[in-house]
């Protein structure tokens, strides 16, 4: 009997290890069966004649967008928010099902808007539901980090694609720790929000408009391209991006005519808040992904978002429908004496960064991120490589130096997730589960697996119709 000179092995390593022990060369194929119960739907969607072209068009639309910062203005003006109207992160939810950090953020927002004097009094206001309403940020072409609460008086970044005029929005970043987006509502939180409304927002508006009208708007997509070469991944590490934004806006801030003390405080606040640019990275990613929405037959994910209770995705070929499952608690590192029992399940629209191919998908470009979210540098490299298995292509603008400038994995494909069982990797901050706590840590998390078969089933239904 002839001994084989080479063996190809799929599945478990037991057979491959036994062959290798006999000095036979082995090629290991990382194969696994598709997610349980998805076989028929995978076959139906694979046979959809629209799928290949639709996915090519959806990916091209996403990659073709350039995001520029054209304005800063109150949400009442740019989003049409009225008194008592609140936006929040993630898929739709009512007050009865809201998590602690979302409740805390809504309570702070109600106090900021003067609907109550004490944030604690807002509980009765939201329980009654008579003069307030809750709506997902995504429904108004907006994204919000963590709780994502937006109220009428909050100032918003306004981003625009110059080729189409399409716009997206995001609130201004408060910093880390005890802040509204992590569910805190103490007096210091409200004081900071009042300063952002009365000082930070108006001064940024002057600076952004001055730059826009003199040399052209700030190229947010361009900053993202550069910061990925400088150790940022644009979700939980934005240090280089923040400083490049400050470089672009500082001269206009200094010459804005504003009070010198106020200008100095704005410069200190932005320069000292490494996460400030996150609130530009997020709407830039949404602007790109929204260009792919409404592509019949496409299996590309255009949104991943969490409200602290549910995790939801939206797909280019299924309109604005949400496919949801229970949000998971991140596995990571905790601040001070906090531990897993203190953490709320995952929350925020910031997973729009991973949906666009950065954040957790680009951790290989930001190895220092593991000091914040846990894991190791080899884990970060392996994560970026693994995400290529579930995406439709790469982004040639956003590249990873350590991987020979390979483009980041872009265009999450529902069918590839269901076929491989590989879930998108997200790095995230962790909010305390009790309203008012604030941030308790940061870590790594994935979506609940069941939401992808749900989306696949809907795609199969549409393919049969």
CATH of the domain at 113: 3.90.1710.10
Distance CA 276, CA 223 (A): 13
The separation between the first and the last C-alpha atoms of the chain, rounded to the nearest angstrom, is 55
User: Regarding predicted confidence, which is higher, 9 or 399?
Assistant: 399
Q: Give long-range contacts, CB 8 A cutoff, 24+ apart: 335-343.
A: 335/439, 335/440, 335/441, 338/432, 338/440, 338/441, 342/432, 342/433, 342/434, 342/437, 342/440, 343/430, 343/431, 343/432, 343/433, 343/440, 343/441
Distance CA 389, CA 399 (A): 17
Please give the structure tokens belonging to residue 77: 């003006």
What does the pLDDT look like over 167-197, one tens digit per residue? 999 999 999 889 999 999 999 999 999 999 9
Pairing, β 85-88 against β 133-136: parallel
Q: Which of 219, 251, 281 is the last residue of a domain?
A: 281
Which residues, other chains included, contact 261 with Cβ-Cβ below 8 Å and sequence gap of 6+?
A: none
287 lies in a domain?
no
Q: Which of 239, 260, 281 is the last residue of a domain?
A: 281
Model confidence, pTM: 0.94
The answer to whether residues 302 and 411 belong to one domain is yes
The answer to whether residues 59 and 105 belong to one domain is no
The answer to whether residues 120 and 267 belong to one domain is yes
The answer to whether residues 247 and 396 belong to one domain is no
What does the pLDDT look like over 257-309, one tens digit per residue? 999 999 999 999 999 999 999 999 999 999 999 999 999 999 999 999 999 99
Per-residue pLDDT, averaged over 341-354, amounts to: 97
The answer to whether residues 117 and 50 belong to one domain is no
Is it the case that residue 11 has pLDDT exceeding 70? no
Q: Which of 259, 281, 303 is the last residue of a domain?
A: 281
Kindly report the CATH number assigned to the domain that includes residue 460. 3.90.1700.10
37 lies in a domain?
no
pLDDT at 7: 80
Is it the case that residue 227 has pLDDT exceeding 90? yes
| 282 in Cβ contact with 353 (< 8 Å) | yes
Confidence category of residue 18, pLDDT binned at 50, 70, 90: confident
39 lies in a domain?
no
The answer to whether residues 73 and 130 belong to one domain is yes
- Residue showing tokens 């929000």: 193
pLDDT at 252: 98
pLDDT at 254: 97
What are the angstrom distances between the C-alpha of 65 and each of 19, 58, 182, 287, 290? 50, 12, 30, 7, 10
Per-residue pLDDT, averaged over 224-230, amounts to: 97
The answer to whether residues 56 and 12 belong to one domain is no
Residue 456 structural domain: 44-63+292-464
402 lies in a domain?
yes
107 lies in a domain?
yes
76 lies in a domain?
yes
The answer to whether residues 447 and 320 belong to one domain is yes
The answer to whether residues 319 and 373 belong to one domain is yes
How many independent structural domains does the chain possess?
A: 3
24 lies in a domain?
yes
**Chain Cα centroid distance, residue 131:** 30
The answer to whether residues 446 and 346 belong to one domain is yes
**In 186-298, beta strands by DSSP E:** 218-219
Is it the case that residue 440 has pLDDT exceeding 90? yes
35 lies in a domain?
no
The answer to whether residues 270 and 334 belong to one domain is no
Which residues, other chains included, contact 230 with Cβ-Cβ below 8 Å and sequence gap of 6+?
A: 240
What are the angstrom distances between the C-alpha of 436 and each of 186, 187, 315? 7, 11, 34
Mean pLDDT for the chain overall: 95
The answer to whether residues 179 and 277 belong to one domain is yes
Q: What SS3 state is found at 343?
A: strand
Provide φ and ψ at 445, rounded to 5°: -155, 160
- Residue showing tokens 């100095």: 264
């Amino acid at each position: 009997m002839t001994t084989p000179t080479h063996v190809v092995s799929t599945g478990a390593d037991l057979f491959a290890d036994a062959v290798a022990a006999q000095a036979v060369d082995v090629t290991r194929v990382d194969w696994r069966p598709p997610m349980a119960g998805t076989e028929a739907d995978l076959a139906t969607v694979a046979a959809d004649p629209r799928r290949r072209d639709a996915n090519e068009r959806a990916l091209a639309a996403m990659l073709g967008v350039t995001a520029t910062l054209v304005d800063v203005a109150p949400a009442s003006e740019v989003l049409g928010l009225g008194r008592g109207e609140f936006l929040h992160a993630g898929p739709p939810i009512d007050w009865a099902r809201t998590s602690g950090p979302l409740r805390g953020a809504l309570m702070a927002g109600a106090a900021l808007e003067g609907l109550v004097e004490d944030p604690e009094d807002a509980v009765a206001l939201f329980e009654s539901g008579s003069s307030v309403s809750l709506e997902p940020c995504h429904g108004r072409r907006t994204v919000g980090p963590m709780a994502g609460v937006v109220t009428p008086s909050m100032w918003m970044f306004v981003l625009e694609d110059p080729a189409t005029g399409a716009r997206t929005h995001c609130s201004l970043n408060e910093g880390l720790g005890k802040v509204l987006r992590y569910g805190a509502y103490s007096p210091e939180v409200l004081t900071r929000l009042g300063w952002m409304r009365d000082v930070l927002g108006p001064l940024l508006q002057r600076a952004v408009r001055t730059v826009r009208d003199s040399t052209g708007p700030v190229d947010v997509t361009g900053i993202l391209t550069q910061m990925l070469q400088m150790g940022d991944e644009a979700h939980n590490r934005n240090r280089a991006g923040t400083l490049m934004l400050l470089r672009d806006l500082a001269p206009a801030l200094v010459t804005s005519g504003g009070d010198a003390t106020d200008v100095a405080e704005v410069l200190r606040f932005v320069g000292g808040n490494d996460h400030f640019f996150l609130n530009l990275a997020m709407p830039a990613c949404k602007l790109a992904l929204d260009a792919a929405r409404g592509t019949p037959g496409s299996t590309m994910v255009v949104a991943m978002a969490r409200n602290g209770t549910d995790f939801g995705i939206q797909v280019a070929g299924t309109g604005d429908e949400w496919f949801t499952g229970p949000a998971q608690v991140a596995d990571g590192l905790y601040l001070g004496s906090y531990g897993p029992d203190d953490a709320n399940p995952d929350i925020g629209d910031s997973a729009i960064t991973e949906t666009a191919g950065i954040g957790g998908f680009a951790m290989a470009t930001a190895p220092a991120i593991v000091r914040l979210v846990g894991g190791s540098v080899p884990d970060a490299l392996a994560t970026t490589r693994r995400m290529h298995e579930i995406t439709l292509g790469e982004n040639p603008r956003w590249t990873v130096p350590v991987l020979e400038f390979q483009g980041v994995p872009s265009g999450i494909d529902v069918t590839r997730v269901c076929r491989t069982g590989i879930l998108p990797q997200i790095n995230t901050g962790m909010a305390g589960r009790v309203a008012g706590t604030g941030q308790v840590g940061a870590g790594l998390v994935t979506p609940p697996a069941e939401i992808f078969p749900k989306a696949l089933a809907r795609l199969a239904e549409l393919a049969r119709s």
